[in-house]
Amino acid sequence: MAFLLRGAHVVDPQVALDCVRDVLIDEGRIQAVGEDLARPAGAEAIDARGKYLVPGLVDMHVHFRDPGFEYKETIETGSRAATHGGFTDVATMPNTDPVSDTGAEIRYQIDRAHEAGLCHVRPIGALTRAEKGESLAEIGDMVVEGAAAFSDDGHGVQGAGMMRTCMEYVSQFGRVAIAHCEVESLTAHGVINEGRASTRLGMFGWPALGEELEIYRDIELCKLTGCPLHIAHISTARGLELVRAAKAEGLPVTCEVCPHHLFLCEDDITDTYDTNLKMNPPLRSAADAAALVEGLVDGSIDCLVTDHAPHAPHEKNCEWEIAFFGTIGLETSLPLMLTNLVGPQKMSWSRLVEAMAVAPREILRLEPVRLEAGSAADLTLIDPTATIEVTPDYFESRSKNSAFLGCTLTGVATDVFVNGRRTLTDGVVTSQGR
């Protein structure tokens, strides 16, 4: 079906667009971008005045728990959450059960996503078998089946020699190695940032060095192997400085940050012990969060991700020490950015588009999506004035463990188009199958 979006504020730094335009989409592609476009016979006109139209958002770090943990999230429910949050593409981490370390597991995810018919799912394959860090996974097989990148996310690859082998192998396939940086001998038993919070609440601390030491190591391995390296969920100012230095040296190093590391810090953890604030890596200091915001705005941090980590109530409604790590994020990521950075004019719309649409496609080596004729019609329409209350009922995700429950946020995706199909209509997920 054809759609004519009338009067949208179109933002795409790739083609120097930041103005009001009409956009015609048909047959899965953008057919025209211009002023006062005529509506073809049969095309549905959409009044987009007062809204922003951007290339479809991409989250390159999510956990859909399927197969193995479907009681938390499935590919279908995760796709619904992604669509509700305004995303056209998500990249799923491999720590499922079984771990996604063969081509069959990659194909499983792509087929389930195809059945859901909502968004593009780009599976990330494991670097090592079962994410044990002992031997190479079937990387070539997974590339053939469609793996977008490789990571042992959830664990750092502890052996430097093993990580070197992984990076040398991944580089042969034109993919990026995504590093979950954690030296487990330093973080063992840690459940909260090592510092004021761990002292105040009397819990085992998780030192920043446990992350920074492995960032340093993997940047050195990037230098040695030439393999593109992406640092996952960076959480410390020192870690960001290491990435900045690597970029200044001309190394192929990129990094990502999560909303919870931007807008929350260890001071938000009180004696109520809200386990939705228990993360891996943990919420750091206020100074770290401020440095990460600055890094995202100035482009030192390439992209925003959610590390969407669904967990069941019994895995969170328990003592802090035994609660699972992580928070869901797909449905609050864009509203948090609009409320905290774009709305107050700390970040431009163009920079938002770079961080949430352009850079993740570049890092994953995906086809670019641009607001120009001929490009794929993967688009997100955003109402910057709509207000949402973050409650459990708001979420399409099967799990409700959000660190931002109770917040009121301004700005939300209202419509999403994937290959020209309208998968979100006025804020309602509209699955159409394929």
Q: What is the largest CA-CA distance in the chain?
A: 68
Asked whether residue 65 is marked as a ligand-binding residue, the answer is: yes
Instruction: Read off the tokens for 75.
Output: 């590919």
155 pLDDT band, cuts 50/70/90, is confident
Residue from 335, 334, 275, 266 nearest 309 by CA: 275
Instruction: Read off the tokens for 360.
Output: 């993740």
The pLDDT of 324-340, averaged and rounded, is 98
Asked whether residue 153 is marked as a ligand-binding residue, the answer is: yes
Integer-rounded Cα Rg, in Å, for the chain is 21
Q: How many CB atoms lie within 10 A of CB 35?
A: 9
| % of the chain at pLDDT higher than 90 | 98
Residue from 277, 307, 309 nearest 201 by CA: 277
| % of the chain at pLDDT higher than 70 | 99
Residues, the chain, total? 434
This prediction's pTM: 0.97
Q: Is the pLDDT of residue 3 over 70?
A: yes
**Structurally, how many domains does the chain consist of?**
1
pLDDT at res. 433 = 54
CB-based contact 80:118 (threshold 8 Å): yes
Annotated active-site residue in 101, 307, 378, 383: 307
> Which tens digits make up the pLDDT trace of 384-411?
999 999 999 999 999 999 999 999 999 9
> Is residue 348 a part of any domain in this protein?
yes
Asked whether residue 180 is marked as a ligand-binding residue, the answer is: yes
> Is residue 180 a part of any domain in this protein?
yes
C-alpha–C-alpha distance, residues 206 and 68, integer Å = 28
Instruction: Read off the tokens for 167.
Output: 């990076």
pLDDT at res. 8 = 98
The pLDDT of 6-30, averaged and rounded, is 98
* Intra-chain end-to-end CA distance of the chain, in Å: 14
> Is residue 9 a part of any domain in this protein?
no
Asked whether residue 325 is marked as a ligand-binding residue, the answer is: yes
Asked whether residue 12 is marked as a ligand-binding residue, the answer is: no
C-alpha–C-alpha distance, residues 428 and 250, integer Å = 44
Asked whether residue 280 is marked as a ligand-binding residue, the answer is: yes
pLDDT at res. 256 = 98
CA distances, 10 to each of 26, 49, 298, 327, 421 (Å):
18, 10, 22, 32, 19
Residue 46, helix vs strand vs coil: strand
> Which tens digits make up the pLDDT trace of 199-257?
999 999 999 999 999 999 999 999 999 999 999 999 999 999 999 999 999 999 999 99
174 pLDDT band, cuts 50/70/90, is very high
- We report the CATH number of the domain holding residue 228 as 3.20.20.140
> Which tens digits make up the pLDDT trace of 251-309?
999 999 999 999 999 999 999 999 999 999 999 999 999 999 999 999 999 999 999 99
Q: Is 307 a catalytic residue?
A: yes
Residue from 168, 123, 166, 114 nearest 143 by CA: 123
Residue 284, helix vs strand vs coil: coil
Q: How many CA atoms lie within 13 A of 413 on its CB side?
A: 31
Residue from 101, 90, 160, 102 nearest 126 by CA: 101
> Is residue 107 a part of any domain in this protein?
yes
Can you give 76-104 as a three-state secondary structure string?
Answer: HHHHHHHHHCCEEEEEECCCCCCCCCCHH
> Is residue 254 a part of any domain in this protein?
yes
C-alpha–C-alpha distance, residues 384 and 366, integer Å = 28
Q: Is the pLDDT of residue 431 over 90?
A: no
pLDDT at res. 432 = 60
Asked whether residue 311 is marked as a ligand-binding residue, the answer is: yes
Distance of CA 404 to the CA centre of its chain: 17
Domain that holds residue 186: 55-364
> Is residue 378 a part of any domain in this protein?
no
